[in-house]
């Protein structure tokens, strides 16, 4: 059975673990990495960017050129986190992978179903929701190209592209890697950690149907708009 650790019980990541994981992402997994903002604790938790209304505290790039700076060079990455040990670990999407982003409840339902189906899965990250949103999200790593494919894949199973809380993240976007801490005191966690067995990522076409099905069953999610229902009205 899938088990995602409760974020409130997750230990606060120490600088060494952030450094080690950032280097591991670049050196072992060959994922481009760039340091992001971090949380500052000085009586109240706030984002290092200084914006009191920051929508992604501790989980966003620190400069407009972040995409150009991203690197797989372990020496470069080690230097970044040696200089700023608390920086969050950002992984640009649309390069080594895209991400299918769903609510955690729906994602856990989908994971259980996909495991029963024997589908090949890649790593999956559980992250806190953005400011103003409740719950957590699951990020499924898939082959690049998911953003372009998602609207048609949803239409093929009877959903409008905006009818489900299912989002693809690709070129120009990023995700936050564990054990980065952001959005308060919660941390990004591996729901399905990277291993030698799941380094070959699935195509989005294999995961969209079970993810959409799970989003429909998620009682906390908005109801999908189906073509058949729209035709009746």
Q: What is the pLDDT of residues 5-24, one digit of tens each?
A: 444 444 444 555 899 999 99
Q: What DSSP state is assigned to residue 159? A: B
Q: What DSSP state is assigned to residue 109? A: H
Percent of the chain at pLDDT > 70 equals 83
Asked if residue 90 has pLDDT above 80, the reply is yes
Quote the pTM value.
Answer: 0.85
pLDDT tens per residue, range 197-212: 999 999 999 999 999 9
pLDDT tens per residue, range 99-157: 999 999 999 999 999 999 999 999 999 998 775 567 899 999 999 999 999 999 999 99
Q: For residue 61, which of 82, 20, 32 has the smallest C-alpha distance?
A: 32
- The strand pairing partners of 90, in sequence order, are 34, 176
Write down the pLDDT at residue 41. 86
d(CA 213, CA 167): 14
Tokens of 123: 């790593």
Q: For residue 169, which of 109, 110, 95 has the smallest C-alpha distance?
A: 95
Average pLDDT, the chain: 86
What are the structural domain ranges in the chain? 11-232
Asked if residue 4 has pLDDT above 50, the reply is no
Strands 34-35 vs 89-92: parallel, antiparallel or unpaired = antiparallel
Q: What DSSP state is assigned to residue 108? A: H
Which residues, in sequence order, are CB contacts of 42 under 8 Å at separation 6+? none
């Amino acid at each position: 059975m899938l088990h995602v650790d409760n974020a409130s019980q997750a230990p606060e990541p120490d600088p060494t673990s952030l450094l080690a994981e950032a280097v591991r992402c670049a050196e072992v997994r060959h994922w481009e990495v760039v340091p992001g903002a971090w949380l500052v604790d000085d009586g109240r938790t706030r984002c290092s960017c200084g914006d009191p209304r920051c929508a992604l505290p501790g989980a966003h790039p620190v400069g407009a050129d972040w995409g150009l700076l991203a690197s797989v060079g372990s020496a470069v990455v080690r230097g970044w986190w040696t200089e700023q040990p608390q920086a969050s670990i950002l992984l640009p999407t649309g390069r080594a992978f895209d991400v299918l982003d769903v609510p955690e409840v729906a994602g856990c339902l989908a994971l259980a179903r996909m495991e029963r189906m024997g589908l090949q899965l890649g790593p999956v990250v559980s992250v806190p929701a953005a400011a103003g949103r409740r719950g957590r999200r699951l990020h499924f790593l898939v082959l690049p190209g998911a953003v372009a494919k998602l609207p048609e894949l949803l239409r093929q199973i009877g959903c409008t592209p905006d009818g489900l809380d299912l989002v693809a993240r690709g070129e120009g976007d990023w995700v936050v890697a564990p054990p980065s801490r952001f959005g308060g005191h919660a941390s990004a966690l591996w729901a399905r950690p990277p291993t030698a067995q799941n380094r070959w990522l699935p195509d989005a076409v294999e995961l969209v149907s079970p993810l959409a099905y799970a989003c429909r069953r998620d009682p906390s999610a908005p109801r999908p708009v189906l073509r058949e229902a729209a035709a009746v009205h």
